[in-house]
Structure 1
Amino acid sequence: MSNSYDVIVIGAGVIGSSVAYHLARFGARRVLVLDRTQIGAGTTSQSSGILRTHYSVRENVELARSSWSIFQDFAGYLGDEEAASGLVKCGYLICAPEGPKLAPLRQALAGQVAQGIEVNLIDAKQARELLPIAHFDDAALIGHEPDAGFADAYLTATSFARAARRLGTKIMEGVEVQRLWVEGGQVVGVETSHGTFHSSTVISTQNIWATDIERWTGIPTPVSAERHAVLALEGPQPYTFQMPVFKDLGSPGMLYCRSYGGTQMLVSEGTVGETLPAPDNEQGDISLDYMVEVGEQVAQRFPTYTEAGLASSWTGVYDVTPDWNPVLGRLPDVKGLIVGYGFSGHGFKLSPGVGRLLAQEALELPTDVSLAPYALERFRTGQLLTGLYGKGAVS
C-alpha cells in the first residue's frame, strides 16, 4: 500500500527530525514524518540553544554526553558537509554561593567527574579570566565545563530533516494528526487532515501537544505547557562568543546567560514559568516588571549591566512533566506506540541522543542508554527523576 510505512513519526521539531534521521540511519526503509506546521517551526525555534552535560540526574548526563559528541562533528555524523548546527564551543560556567544550592552543585559536579566528564573546579580569579564582565565575589564553588557551549536548534532540526530525506524519509508539513488508530491494543496507523496513513509503529514527539496521546488513548499524559521569557540585553561591555555560557545558582531566578549575536547577552530564568491552560506556542506578553526584576538580577552579577538596554525579547514554551524530565519509550497499554515528550527545557541539548534512543527502541535494537528510568510508570511508582536543584530546567 502506498500509504503504509514502517514507522510514522508525529512532529518535525528537533526531536522528531533527529528520530527520523536515526530511523533511516539504522535501516528503516519507509519512514513518514508528519508535522502540523513546518520543520522546526514550533517550540524548537524558541530554544535558547545551550549545550552542556551538567545535570544532577545521572541519566541526563549520559544523554547529554552522547549528544555533545554528535554536535562536535555534526556534518561528519550526518554525512553532509553542508549540515550545520551553529555550534559555538565556548564552555560552561556554573557557580553557587554558601547556601542551599552549594551541596547540590558539589554533588552534581562530582557526578559528572565520576562519569568521565571533564569538569574543572576553579576560583574567582580564573572565572573572571573566562568571563571578565562578571564578578564572583560570593561564589563558594565554581565549576567549568570546557566541552560545552550553544548552538542553533532550528538549524539542527532542518539539518536532521534534510539528512533524513536524503536517506529516503518522507516528511509532510502542514499535516495535522487527528487520531491514532488502534485495533486490539495495537497501533495500526493515524488519521490526519490529509487522509489515513498505516503503520504498526508510531513515535510521538509532540512536546506540548503530547496531551493528544491521552485524548486518543486514555493513557494519562502528565505534561503541561509552561511559558518562559527570554531577554537579549545590550550592555556597555560585550558578551562575546569567546565567553562561556553562565549559570548563576546564586540568583533568585537561577539565571542562565550566554552570548547572543556576538555582543549581546541572552538571559532567562531557570525556574518555574507561567503554566498555560492549553498547548500554545504563540508569543506571550512580557511585563515591564518582569524585565526590571531580571535586569536587577543580571546587574548583581554583571555590574556594568546596570546600564544595559533591552535589545529584544521573546517567549518560549516548555513541555513540562511533574519531575521536569522527559517520558521516553513504549507505552505499555498500546503496542507499537513510542513517545518522547516532557523535555522541560532539555530537549535541544539531548536531541541527538534521544533521536538515537527512540529509533533504536522502535527498531528493537539495543539502546545506548536504558530507557527504564524515563518510563511513564515512574509517576505511578514514585521513582521520579527529580534533580538536586528542585524544579527548573537545570535538573
Structure 2
Amino acid sequence: MPGPFVVPVRGDLALPKQADVVVIGGGIIGAATALELAEQKLSVALCEKGGIGHEQSSRNWGWVRLSRRDPREIALMAASLDIWRDLDRRLEADTGYQRSGIAFTCRTEKELAEDQRWLAQINDYPFTTRLFDARQFQQMFPSSTVTMAGALYAPEDGRAEPQKVAPAFAEAARRKGASILTECAVRGIETSAGRVSAVVTERGVISCQSVVLAGGAWSGLFAGRAGLRLPQLKVINTVLRTGPVAGGPEPAVWYDDFAIRKRQDGGYTVASGTENVVDIVPDSFRYARDFLPALRSEWRALRLRLGWRFWDEARISRNWAMDEASPFEYCRVLDPVPSVPLSQRAFQQLIRHYPQFSQAQVLQRWAGCIDVVPDAVPVISAVDTLPGFFIATGFSGHGFGIGPAAGRLMADLVLGRPTVVDPGAFRFSRFSDGSKIEIISGV
C-alpha cells in the first residue's frame, strides 16, 4: 500500500536569480516561515528537494495539542493555537482543523499526579484543560473498556489533516509572491564578507541575504556541510489509516499502547502510543554522548535496530562539491518501510478496548522519519557564527501542531522584529555553549 496522498503542489519553472530569503525545506515549518516572510513583502524562494510536505509533515498523527507539552514549548504552542483558529481563512484552504479535544489516559494515580503538576505550567493561560477521574472519562467515552485511574483532557486541543497543511501554506506563500521550487535541492551556501550571500541549488545559484534551514531529518547533514555541528538523529514512527468507523470517538485519545485520531473522511489514524524504531547508524555513534541522557530516559519506548540503514548512511558523502549532485538529489523523499508488527499491535489493542473497530478496514500503513535533537526541544535560531543563516529543525515529533507559530518565530528572527515568544530555549548555541541539556519526559 502506498504512503499518504499529499495534496500536489506544482513547482515554479523559473529559478529566481535573487531573493531576500531562501528557505530550505518544504515541510510545514519551512512553508509557514515562507508565508510569514512573504506577507511582510520580502522576496522568498522556498526550495524543496522533493515535493511539498512529502516527508514527516504529511506522515504524522495530525494532532494539534498543547497538552503534555514540554514546558519550554508551551508559550509557542499557545501562540500556535491562536493561529490555527483562523488558519483556513488565511490560507484560503481547508486544512481539516477542528478543536475536537485530546485526552491522555493515566493508568495509575502516580501518572495522574504527574499530569496535575503539568497543569500548573498553564495556570497563566486561558485554557480549560483538566483532569478526569475514571467515571468522568467513561461518560465521555462510553464505548471504551480501558481500565484507568483517569485522564488529562484538553478541550482546546484538536486535529488537522497533515496531507493538506504544508501544501496550503506553500500555495498561500506563492499568492504573496514567494517562489515555490520543488525537486530543487540546495547543495550548499556561499558567503561573502563573512555572511551568507547565496545558495547553490541543483538548478543554479540564488543570491540572498538570509537562509533558513528547515530541512527536517536532513538538517544535520546540511549543517555539517556548512561546518556546523547539529546533533540530530532519526526516529521511525509507523501509523495506519482505517476506513470510516461509526461510533468512534471525536476527541483524539492517547494510551500507552495505542493512539487514535479521527480523520475528515470518518476513518482514523492509529499508531502505538509510545513505541518507535531507531536505526543504528553512524550518527548514532557520532552523537552518542549528546543523546545518552535521552536514551536513559526513553529507552523503553525505543526499538533499536541494526540493519541495512547503517550501511546506506555510511555511504552518504558528508562533504560533496557544489558542482556535483548532493545526497539530497539521490533521495528525494525519506519513505521508510512501516513496521507492520508495531502498527498491528496498536490496532489490536484498539479493537480490544473499542470493539466497534473490529470491523474497521485497514486502508494504508506508512512510516515517517522524525527528526530528534537531544532534549526534544526544537532549534529555532540564528546561527551566531554565520550571519544570515538560521535553523528551524529538531521538532522531535511535535512539529505539526506548533508549526504555524514556529514559522512566525523564525520570521521574527530573520526580520529582527520583536518575537512572538522568548526564543531563548530554542537557541542553536545550547548544544555548544556548555548549557545543561535537560530531558523532560512526555509524549
Name the TM tier (shorter chain): 0.7 to 0.9
CA–CA separation in structure 1 for the residues paired with 2:272 and 2:262: 15
Q: 1:102 Cα shift?
A: 3.4
Aligned residue pair count: 378
Partner of 2:228: 219
Does the 8 A contact of 2:270 with 2:343 survive in 1? no
Are residue 335 (structure 1) and residue 387 (structure 2) matched? yes
- Partner amino acid for 2:213? S
- Partner amino acid for 1:71? W
Partner of 2:41: 27
CA–CA separation in structure 2 for the residues paired with 1:100 and 1:180: 50
Q: 1:27 Cα shift?
A: 3.4
Partner of 2:302: none
Choose from 153, 157, 163 the match for 1:148.
Answer: 157
Are residue 103 (structure 1) and residue 102 (structure 2) matched? no
Are residue 120 (structure 1) and residue 127 (structure 2) matched? no
- Partner amino acid for 2:365? S
Does the 8 A contact of 1:86 with 1:151 survive in 2? yes
Q: 1:336 Cα shift?
A: 0.8
Deviations 1:294-329 (A, max 9, x none): 234335543555676534321122111112221111
Task: Please identify, of 61-70 and 379-388, the stretch whose mean Cα deviation from structure 2 is larger.
Answer: 379-388
Alignment of 1:262-281 (within 5 A): 262-271=265-274, 273-276=276-279, 277=281, 278=313, 281=334
Are residue 3 (structure 1) and residue 17 (structure 2) matched? yes
Alignment of 1:1-395 (within 5 A): 3-28=17-42, 30-76=43-89, 78=90, 82-98=92-108, 101-139=111-149, 141-233=150-242, 238-240=247-249, 243-248=250-255, 251=256, 253=257, 255-260=258-263, 262-271=265-274, 273-276=276-279, 277=281, 278=313, 281-287=334-340, 289-299=341-351, 301-302=353-354, 305=357, 310-380=362-432, 381-384=434-437, 386-389=439-442, 394=443
Distance 1:35 1:113, change over 3 A: same
Deviations 1:256-305 (A, max 9, x none): 21123554332212435222444862140423x33443234335543555
Does the 8 A contact of 1:239 with 1:258 survive in 2? no
Does the 8 A contact of 2:55 with 2:369 survive in 1? no
- Partner amino acid for 1:341? T
Q: 1:44 Cα shift?
A: 1.5
Deviations 1:187-246 (A, max 9, x none): 111111111111121001000110233332221111112211112356986425xx2111
Task: Please identify, of 82-91 and 290-299, the stretch whose mean Cα deviation from structure 2 is larger.
Answer: 290-299
CA–CA separation in structure 2 for the residues paired with 1:186 and 1:89: 43
CA–CA separation in structure 2 for the residues paired with 1:377 and 1:101: 34
Gaps spanning 5+ residues in structure 2: where? 1-14, 282-312, 314-330
CA–CA separation in structure 1 for the residues paired with 2:23 and 2:79: 22
Task: Please identify, of 4-13 and 97-106, the stretch whose mean Cα deviation from structure 2 is larger.
Answer: 97-106
Gaps spanning 5+ residues in structure 1: where? none
CA–CA separation in structure 2 for the residues paired with 1:309 and 1:120: 34
CA–CA separation in structure 2 for the residues paired with 1:285 and 1:361: 37
Deviations 1:102-145 (A, max 9, x none): 33322222323343322132233332232222135322x32221
Q: 1:91 Cα shift?
A: 0.9
Does the 8 A contact of 1:325 with 1:385 survive in 2? no
Q: 1:346 Cα shift?
A: 1.0
Identity of aligned residues (%): 25
CA–CA separation in structure 2 for the residues paired with 1:263 and 1:376: 41
Q: Aligned to 2:76, what secondary structure does the other structure show?
A: helix
Partner of 2:322: none
Q: 1:353 Cα shift?
A: 0.2
Task: Please identify, of 324-333 and 373-382, the stretch whose mean Cα deviation from structure 2 is larger.
Answer: 373-382
Q: Give structure 1 regions of 4+ aligned residues with deviation exceeding 4 angstroms.
A: 233-237, 303-309
CA–CA separation in structure 1 for the residues paired with 2:370 and 2:16: 36
- Partner amino acid for 1:151? A
CA–CA separation in structure 1 for the residues paired with 2:52 and 2:172: 13
Q: CA RMSD in A?
A: 2.5
CA–CA separation in structure 1 for the residues paired with 2:243 and 2:171: 35
Q: 1:383 Cα shift?
A: 3.4
- Partner amino acid for 2:206? F
Task: Give the TM-score taking structure 1 as reference length.
Answer: 0.87
Does the 8 A contact of 2:381 with 2:410 survive in 1? yes
Task: Give the TM-score taking structure 2 as reference length.
Answer: 0.78
